[in-house]
Structure 1
């Protein structure tokens, strides 16, 4: 009897999660998606899934964590917006085989799957190959690996930060080009 009640939930959950692969890297897309949380609710008619309580989502090298994660999808079942809220919400993914993992933090992380874009709001920080970007709001293009940082106008912040802070590491030179 219990399986009969949970089967529609599990089938709807599978539809939502199957679409998540659209925002993972090609090598990650073939990996299973794992979601751990204390509570899960799915409104299949509205296209909204909400996970609460120490949420951890992984697929291949990609990982997203938060206190609450909400996934909305389009009418065709594609993931539209993936919102993680926490103190701090977290995202990581390895962009290429020989590149280090990119890490991103924020009180709110919104992943726009169809645009391959992450918006970090409040205590926003991106770490990419030793380079860091910090500010109130950061928009990170996961494909092009481009950061735009600025003020989070109109948003209530826990930590206002009027200036952007970036650290750019120098490129390594081959031994022949190094100074004697």
Structure 2
């Protein structure tokens, strides 16, 4: 697989779960990509993988029906993953728990450090869960924004969001 595609997917995949204290050792592991077919355009900086796309790096895994990775002249990269649903999963560093996400579409842009999950979006960490039509996650500030529906022309959301936060275990005397 070409080096630029590996680098693009490494960046995109690592940023999807970067600041939730993902398994630190993952970044030093090789990336394995598999798909039914691919199109790599080095000159235009557009790489497309289609058909049961699976990308893994250590404990991080991503699955999609199709991914499009692009890089602009400044080196900024974008990843679009489409699926029924597109999913990702990564172990949380130092804990026996995972962060998992899924949506019909997952977009990541390195310039803005934003991951946007759209279409029946769901992010789970341990037993905590956030669901909505769209979840935006800033990988630097670690702030989530959840919408019950995608923005309409009127700007009025019509759906609902769900947030389930489990209580912290109490220390026993």
Aligned residues: 160
Task: Note the C-alpha offset of 1:95.
Answer: 3.3
Aligned to 1:73: 71
Task: Note the C-alpha offset of 1:161.
Answer: 6.7
Gaps of 5+ in 1: 1-9
Greater fraction of residues in helix:
1
**Paired residue for 1:15, among 4, 7, 15?**
4
Gaps of 5+ in 2: 19-23
Residue pairs, 1:1-180, within 5 angstroms: 10=1, 13-23=2-12, 24=14, 26-75=24-73, 78=75, 80-98=77-95, 100-142=97-139, 145-150=142-147, 151-154=149-152, 162-176=159-173
TM-score, structure 1 as length reference: 0.78
Aligned to 1:5: none
Structure 1 ranges of 4+ moved more than 6 A: none
